[in-house]
Chain A
Amino acid sequence: MLTSPAAAPAARREGAQAVAHRARRRALAVLVALAALVLVVLASLALGVRDIAPAEVWRALTAPVDGLMDHDVVLDQRLPRTVVGLVAGIALGCAGTVIQGVTRNPIADPGLLGLNSGASLAVVCAVWLFGITSPIGYVWFAFLGAAAAAAIVFSVGRGQPVRLALVGAAVTALITPLITLVLLRDQQAFNLYRFWSVGSLTGRGLDTVAWLWPFAVVGVVLAAVLAHRLTMLALGDDVATALGQRVGTTRALASVAIVLLAGTATSLAGPIALVGLVVPHAARRLVGTDYRWIMGIGALLGPVMLLTADVLGRLVLPRSELEAGVVAALLGAPVLVAVARGRTVAGA
């Protein structure tokens, strides 16, 4: 009917080979991503504006000497920003994947849903109203701001992709001038916001991470649980429901996961553009349409991209640095264009 009966076994054999080939490719993708993560973590510890020999970096980590400049740089600057990059990167990779999966919208990211603008407004208000300028103080405002924006967007958007995007845009459009209003009135808020809004891994110590990591862990666990549900949701709400999924529960869990993950990432590293958007696309390109794989590889590619951006930012300028957020955008845009040309997008 579709092929002649004689040709069928051959076609089936080829099919089985192709399946095995793709399984190998997926396993390989995970291994390569894992190796890339290890490499970029090492690079993040070893490379920077200050030249420190790898052996000295190792000594700093294993047997630090108090007051030695090289050791202080590694322990007080490079180690915290590496940890921040890891946690924020994993959170962004998972958040982007959950957002795109649950909205079936290939251009959805924390920014589109208004989470970043909510966090930004909360941070400038923290400075303006309460004079809070230490990261450990304003991360909570960032978190609450993201959560408040998410609460509005999800409750009005009610899970419908187009509606979510519209409400997200509306919330952002409403908040942006409010941020400007505060910045125009408060010099201190303006100074802090200039750096915060770019997105950077510096300036946040391990103490901030110590406060925030439990949120990221819960978020990642939720994302892992959601992955299989998102694979089904990609077939449409009706099909997913007919297959026995409680779509409303999926949406509710996804909202919580998004707030936890994007909230953690934005609180730690500021509104980093493009990582949450690009990573799921790259992951899909590598491992196909099963969200269990997309989520897994996304959790690896997120920190790879963020830390790569951070490390490159330390190296491109002599005796100075570019913020990770800027480099991530420069890296992410071409990747996104390449993916768009390859036409492997979520949803339709």
Chain B
Amino acid sequence: MTTLRAESVSLGYDGLRVIEGLDLTLPDGKITAVVGPNACGKSTLLRGMARLHPLDGGRVTLDGADIGSMSRKELARKVGMLPQSSIAPDGVRVAELVARGRYPHQGWFGRHSSDDDAVVATALESTGVAEIADRPVAELSGGQRQRVWIAMVLAQQTDIVLLDEPTTFLDVRHQLDLLDLLTELNRARGTTVAMVLHELNLAARYADHLVVMAGGRVVAEGAPADVLTQQVVDEAFGLRAQVVPDPVAGSPLVVPVGRFHAGA
């Protein structure tokens, strides 16, 4: 197994510091969800840990080795990352797109091996998109499209998969569907999953390890039941809420109060 760790990292944009000296370890083989208000730096942190955003200070290590000193392809064979800004080129088909996940395993001209074919087939199967492998990605629904992108990251065959807001544009059913899929992959393959999520209650339900961020620092982290308390929600989001047990999963359920409903 491999452990990805941020060691007192600082990140920012054009001199504006977003994160200062933050430490975070992604527990091996677990699902980590990072939540927090808009602009708290959660996406920036994830991008920094995937080396998509330059560090202003500190380092990110993989089993103790600085990822900054690895070649990009070497890193891409160990850490997969699905950013928010992915583009499906017009006309590209599902299997073609998934096969591009093999890039870090290929040479200059991208020669395809039978090994690649087997990995791509497995990725298509395990994300449930094998039947639509020949369809143009542009024709798919948002939920299917996101599955295809996850299949592409799986084809990368990494022990760690990072996802930046993978559920943002999906309706609630497809959000659940996608999180179920990620849980399945985590359990079946032991893949370490870390994702930025917006939906607190789904994060609390699906994460083994919950990280709550605010203002560029970690407010609390740990098992969702320990972390997601009234105080933490108030501190991170400035939100008055009640936290009750989720009747389905038993995980903490955040019920916001608002101005017009006093609550019990």
Interface of A with B (CB < 8 Å)? 1-3, 7-8, 11-12, 14-15, 18-19, 104, 224-225, 227-228, 231-232, 234-239, 241-246, 284, 288-290, 292, 343-348
Interface centre among A1, A237, A239 (most CB of B within 10 A): A239
The count of residues in chain B whose C-beta lies closer than 8 Å to any C-beta of chain A is 44
Asked whether B83 is an interface residue with its Cβ less than 8 Å from the other chain, the reply is: yes
Contacts of A224 in B (CB 8 A): 109
B92 contacts partner chain A, Cβ-Cβ < 8 Å:
yes
Pick the residue among B47, B71, B97, B128 that contacts A1 (CB under 8 A).
B128
Which residues of the partner chain B approach A244 to less than 8 Å between Cβ atoms? 71-77, 103-104
- Pair B108/A232 contact, Cβ less than 8 Å: no
**B103 lies within 8 A of A288 (CB):** no
Q: Is B191 an interface residue (CB 8 A)?
A: no
A12 touches B81 (CB 8 A): no
- Known: A2-B144, A238-B52, A292-B110. Is A15-B134 also a contact (CB below 8 A)? yes
Q: Are A284 and B85 interface neighbours, CB within 8 A? A: no
- Decide if B76 touches A242 in the complex (CB within 8 Å): yes
Q: Which residue of B lies closest to A234 (CB)?
A: B89
Question: Does A239 contact B89, Cβ atoms closer than 8 Å?
Answer: no
Alpha-carbon separation in the docked complex, A344 to B138 (Å): 11
Task: Looking at the assembled complex, report how far the CB atom of A342 sits from the nearest CB atom of chain B, in whole angstroms.
Answer: 10
Q: Per a CB cutoff under 8 Å, which of B71, B82, B110, B130 touches A242?
A: B82
CB distance from A8 to the nearest CB of B (A): 5
Rounded to whole Å, the gap between the CB of A191 and the closest CB of chain B is 45
What chain A residues lie within 8 Å of B224 (beta carbons)?
A: none
Binding site for A on B (CB under 8 A): 47, 50-52, 71-77, 80-92, 95-97, 100-101, 103-104, 106, 108-110, 128-134, 144, 156
- Kindly state the separation between the CA atoms of A319 and B201 in the bound complex, as whole angstroms: 80
Q: B interface, by DSSP: helix, strand, loop or mixed?
A: loop
Q: Are A289 and B91 in contact (CB under 8 A)?
A: yes
**Could you tell me the distance in whole angstroms from the C-beta of A15 to the nearest C-beta in chain B?**
4
Q: For B71, what are the chain A residues with a Cβ–Cβ distance below 8 Å? A: 244
Complex CA–CA separation, A3 to B50 (angstroms): 35
For B100, list chain A residues within 8 Å (CB): 231-232, 235, 243
Contact status of A8 and B96, CB under 8 A, knowing A244-B103, A246-B72: no
User: Known pairs A224-B109, A232-B100, A289-B96. 18 more at Cβ < 8 A?
Assistant: A2-B128, A2-B129, A2-B144, A8-B130, A8-B131, A14-B134, A15-B133, A15-B134, A225-B109, A227-B109, A231-B100, A235-B86, A243-B76, A244-B73, A284-B91, A288-B92, A345-B90, A347-B89
Please judge, given known A-B contacts A289-B92, A348-B87, whether A243 and B132 are in contact too, CB under 8 Å.
Answer: no
Q: Which of B84, B86, B144 lies at the interface centre, i.e. has the most chain A CB atoms within 10 A of its CB? A: B86
Q: Smallest distance from the beta carbon of B174 to chain A beta carbons, Å?
A: 12
What residues on A are CB-neighbors of B84 within 8 Å? 238
Q: Are B52 and A234 in contact, with the CB atoms below 8 A? A: no
Inter-subunit contact A344/B90 (CB<8 Å):
yes
